[in-house]
Amino acid sequence: MAVVEQPCYTLINFPTDLEPCNEMQLKLDLEKGDTKKKIEALKKTIGIILSGEKIPGLLMIIIRFVLPLQDHMIKKLLLIFWEIVPKTSPDGKLLQEMILVCDAYRKDLQHPNEFIRGSTLRFLCKLKEPELLEPLMPAIRSCLEHRHSYVRRNAVLAIFTIYRNFEFLIPDAPELVANFLETEQDMSCKRNAFLMLLHADQERALTYLSSRLDNVHSFGDILQLVIVELIYKVCHTNPSERSRFIRTVYGLLNASSAAVRYEAAGTLVTLSNAPAAIKAAAACYIDLVVKESDNNVKLIVVGRLGALRAEGGEGAARALPDLAMDVLRVLASSDLDVRKHTLQLALELVSARHAEELVQVLRKEAARAHSADHDDAAKYRQLLVRAMHKAALKFPEVAGSVAPALLELLGEGSEAAAHDVLLFLRHALHAFPDLRDHIYQKLVESVRSVRVGRPARAALWLLAQFADTPGRARAALHVLADVIEGAADTQQPESGPAAAPRRLVTSDGTYATQSAFNLPASGAAEGGAAEGGARLGGALLEGESFTAVCACSALAKLALKLPRQEAARALHLAAVLLARHKQNAGQRGGLTADDMEHAALCVQAGLAGAGLGGGAGGADVRRALLDASDAALAALLALPDREPHLLEDVDKEREPKRQEQKVEIETGITFSQLAGAGASGSQHDMFELALNKALQGRSGGEAIDRGKLCRVRQLTGCSDPVYAEAIVSVNQYDIVLDVLLVNQTDDTLQNCCVELATLGELRLVERAAEVVLAPRDFASLRAHVKVASTENGVIFGNVVYEVTGASMDRGVVVLNDIHIDIVDFIQPAHCSDADFRQMWAEFEWENKVSVNTNMTDLHEYLQHLLASTNMKCLTPEKALSGQCGFMAANLYARSIFGEDALANLSIERPLHKPGAPVLGHVRIRAKTQGMALSLGDKINMMQKASHQKPADPTPAA
């Protein structure tokens, strides 16, 4: 038989390092100690009972020597003690000692102190024994007339709970509470009484509300919340009542309490789909977000606005665009997540009529963010750039005003924001031919201020790619010539003896040397260069060599678009750049072999294409460098993932899941035709759905939602005296072990229990209770484990039991280890390429795992890796398609603790060796060491499992 868990409503934290208690010492302190000793002994007794131990010998001592005391602390502890102590014998009958306790309850209900009365009434709500409650009913009724509101409101709650659990004890409770509600003046007492009528007798609650509809605005906020819930439930059950109460809900949108306004707005949109109702509810939500200071509340309400837009249908499409500009008021918040969600929502709501106004607001925000000095200023500017980019793609008519605003951010020093600006310019120059002249002119004016290598390379490519007219090509050449020649002139040759190298100490204690030539330029020098307009020149001449190679490629393209004389000048500038870097090979590292080869090919192609080198194939070179790049750009921008996303995770979650629905074999079947009238309505009750969702916790992915039968772990062997198996359930930070124990002997096993211990960042918070197993009997136990971080852990232990009448004292069965997998705590997530690169550079812990598998297909290994680690592949499918012998992909996941996990897969398979296994490695990076190591262990285990192939089935003889 299964053991039924005792109900418990109180959670008490006790230190884990407490010394073991002596029962004899506890009896002595409870019997003869002073008040302080009795309080401490009572606390230790409560802790022992909560840990699963049974001490029946203390019950009568507490009744005799502790129960008569009038100390308030002792009475509070006694209420907890009477809640958790077993009140029935093993056969289910009430203990005789509880009659004395019941008499003590009755005296406390008549105590002159209102706190003792109210606390006792709250305690009675937790009792599940009608034999104890029946003698107390007259005293509970009399508390409804007490002078203090604390006693009266707890008396209403006690009557409500008793009526719901044991209606026969007080069958006239609805009438009694309805009469109490008519005469009561205290708002908290009226709230509790109305709440009982809501759940026990809705007709009486409706009668009371109907007579006071005009005065609802004057009620307290706690009562207004219950009224909103009643209106929703009544209108949900009987839609014809909507017109009766909708005016009241409209009035509650202006209530003084933020909670009432939030609930009233949510109820209003369920009662009516009219555009006016949706607009009023959305305006209420926006006002709540602006005035609320808690960032968590802001995120919840902004998410509710997004859900209203998605689920509102035609009414929302007509009403919400007018409020798009009001949503931008939320950008005054300092939290980056709130701003991110707000920008996403505003871009979804805005219409063409307000697009220009939206861009102006974003421009002002960008200017304000440029002067801000908080930590998230650079990330906020990047968000604003992406928002303006998305607005320009959605409404092409505002692209002309977006481009100047973004070009102002090009040289402000933030590499992330500058990169996003150049992505917009690439899209705009390609998609808007009528704006190309204006945007290209602004780009030429702003390109001098670029001082970071990566944006400089992108700007150079744009200058050469879209110089499709002679005027643009000459303007681009003039700018590059001024930058390169001006930067070369400002750098004087070094004179005097070389600076002596200085000695440095590395992290491992060894010495290293560094020359003064390799030190970064001082702040004054950088400032002078910037004032002289040589920011881009510094990036070309003193920055990375690859930036100079990109400039050579751009100059070669310009040479193909210019006349011979100007083409020769462009190629001369490219040669100057190469010579400069070749000359500084000892100081700055010089050009690498790949860079030199790339630059030489560009110069040779420019000579051949411009007809300066005398070689053949100029048309082919022109076609390869100009026409092919145009076609490649058009194909790239046509990909669906090229559009900028502010909230990749939210976008993915909102997409409908087009997957085949799978039903587990233990799932029940519901027949709506056979269900009662209230059953179908309760399935769509907003309050019930919210409560069920909160109790359900985090929804797992496809690998987690596979039913309980897939999570059964066998803990002992089939021939052991006690067979044990467990169902391991992971819910956010908790691991629940449902352990099944089966007595496989013909003896009665007493004090049978499961003793567990943990390794890693796991902590056992609840010990399973002891049970008695009859011959061939079984029982179910439950244990809870708390998770502290995203790391692998191990749960181990044994089953301990005693055999009745046997010579041996105890029997022990060792359990198999339960390995807690990191996959249970991480889930696939999405992030942009720029965010991935930034996190890859910031995270300091790396774990490199070599690929060791018998798989021969690259795509098969990738899919197997994704399924085993629960990560998401960020590399587009189109980039992974085809067979070229090697594959590189980026993977990303996020834990329930908010930790990020990055992985880079680099694998290959020799094409000249058919059947050769996949080779390569997986590099993992994480912010914490434990997560990097745990993911590496998971990949190694996955590879070992892939080596174990199932044996070929052999037909039976």
Asked if residue 190 lies in contact with residue 181, where contact means CB atoms within 8 angstroms, the answer is: yes
Report the helix count and the strand count for the chain, using DSSP H and E.
Answer: 42, 18
What pLDDT was estimated at residue 495?
41
Q: How many residues does the chain have?
A: 957
Task: Produce one character per residue of 837-862: b if its CB has 16 or more CB atoms within 10 Å, e if not.
Answer: bebeeebeeebebebebebeebeebb
Alpha-helical (H) ranges within 85-113 are 98-109
The whole-angstrom separation of Cα 287 and Cα 330 is 9
Q: Residue 541 belongs to what H/E stretch?
A: helix 535-541
- Cα 420 to chain centroid distance, Å, stands at 25
477 Cβ contact list (under 8 Å, min separation 6): 555, 558, 562, 566, 569, 570
CA distance 489 to 837: 36
Distances (CA, A) of 335 to 61, 124, 683: 57, 45, 36
Bridge partners (DSSP) of residue 786 are: 734, 763
CA-wise closest residue to 341 among 286, 394, 407, 392: 286
- Look at the pTM and tell me if it is higher than 0.85: no
Half-sphere exposure of 444 (CA within 13 A, CB side): 22
Q: pLDDT averaged over consecutive 10-residue blocks of the chain (957 residues)?
A: 49 60 82 88 84 77 87 88 83 82 88 90 89 90 92 93 91 91 90 90 88 85 89 83 86 89 89 86 90 87 87 80 86 86 87 86 82 74 86 84 78 68 84 84 82 78 85 85 69 45 44 44 38 57 74 83 82 80 60 76 75 59 74 77 57 44 64 50 59 58 53 87 87 80 88 84 74 86 77 83 70 87 79 83 89 86 88 85 83 84 90 82 88 85 65 42
Please provide residue 921's backbone torsions phi and psi, each rounded to the nearest 5 degrees: -155, 160
Q: What six digits make up the tokens of 501?
A: 């190298």
Alpha helices by DSSP H, listed for 655-751, are 677-682, 686-696
| Per-residue H/E/C for 437-492 | HHHHHHHHHHHHHCCCHHHHHHHHHHHHHCCCCHHHHHHHHHHHHHHHHHHHHHCC
Q: Which CATH class is domain 707-820?
A: mainly beta
Comparing CA positions, the residue from 838, 853, 730 lying closest to residue 786 is 730
Beta bridge partners of 904: 890, 923
Buried b (16+ CB within 10 A) or exposed e, 744-761: eeebbbeebbbebebebe
| Both structure tokens of 281 | 């509810």
Distance CA 289, CA 338 (A): 10
Output the six-digit token pair for 678: 């209230």
Give the closest residue to 213 by CA, choosing from 224, 203, 229, 222.
Answer: 224
CATH (residue range 824-944): 3.30.310.10
- Tell me what percent of the chain is helix, strand and coil, each rounded to the nearest 5: 60, 10, 30
User: Would you give the end-to-end CA distance of the chain in angstroms?
Assistant: 43
Is residue 31 a contact partner of residue 61, using CB atoms and an 8 Å limit?
Answer: yes
Instruction: Tell me the sheet residues that pair with 759.
Output: 794
Please name which of 103, 106, 33 lies closest in space to residue 74, comparing C-alpha atoms: 33
The pLDDT score that the predictor gives to residue 457 is 82
Q: Which residue shows structure tokens 């009562």?
A: 223
- Pairwise CA distance, residues 65 & 87, whole Å: 19
